[in-house]
């Protein structure tokens, strides 16, 4: 199963950005962990990050064309980007929305995600473990991992 792990704005700053909220794991370490977890589960994992909305849209369109699964941390785009939401709505594979922090326990403007209503599932507040859980779920869905 092909899985795109896509990360939105500011996530490339993991490990240095608000470590009290996002932790000390660097983005490079997150990439390595996602690839290693994917390989262990028999998934073909591609990990990407961008601060450019148009680039994210292109990646989501490609995933839709491939019917690939997507693990998406849309970052701030979660709360207002109807363009990202509409691109997600085109996906033919499962979509797992992941947030490192618990968006419901933060500032009011972060409490709502325009992506969640079209996602297969949402994981938030479990730190970077949310990515591992999303990949495990996708592996079970695809039948490559034990139930």
Q: Sort 116 into a burial class: Cβ within 10 Å, 0-12 / 13-18 / 19+.
A: middle
Report the predicted TM-score, pTM, of the whole model to 2 decimal places. 0.92
CATH number for the domain that contains residue 49? 3.40.50.9100
How large is the average pLDDT for residues 28-56? 97
pLDDT tier for residue 40 given thresholds of 50, 70 and 90:
very high
Q: Mind listing the pLDDT tens digit for each residue in 110-126?
A: 778 999 999 999 999 99
- 79 labeled part of a ligand binding site: yes
Tell me whether residue 93 is in a domain. Answer: yes
- 73 labeled part of a ligand binding site: yes
How large is the average pLDDT for residues 16-30? 83
- 61 labeled part of a ligand binding site: no
Residue 69, token pair as written in the block: 């699964």
Domain housing 38: 8-103+124-142
Tell me whether residue 16 is in a domain. Answer: yes
Q: What total number of domains does the chain contain?
A: 1
- Annotate 64-94 with b (16+ C-beta within 10 A) or e (fewer): beeebbbbbbbbebbbebeebbebbeebebb
Name the residues annotated as catalytic.
22, 99
Q: What rounded mean pLDDT belongs to the chain?
A: 93
């Amino acid at each position: 199963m092909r899985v795109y792990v896509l990360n939105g704005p500011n996530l490339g700053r993991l490990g240095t950005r608000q470590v009290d909220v996002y932790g000390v794991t660097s983005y490079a370490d997150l990439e390595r962990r996602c690839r290693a977890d994917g390989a262990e589960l028999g998934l073909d994992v591609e990990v990407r990050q961008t601060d450019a909305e148009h680039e994210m849209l292109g990646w989501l369109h490609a995933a839709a064309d491939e019917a690939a699964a997507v693990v998406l941390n849309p970052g701030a785009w979660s709360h207002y980007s109807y363009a990202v939401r509409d691109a997600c709505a085109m996906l033919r594979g499962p979509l797992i929305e992941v947030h490192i922090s618990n968006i419901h326990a933060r500032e009011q403007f972060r409490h709502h995600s325009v992506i969640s209503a079209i996602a297969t599932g949402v994981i938030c507040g479990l730190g970077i473990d949310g990515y591992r859980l999303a990949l495990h779920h996708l592996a079970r869905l695809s039948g490559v991992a034990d139930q």
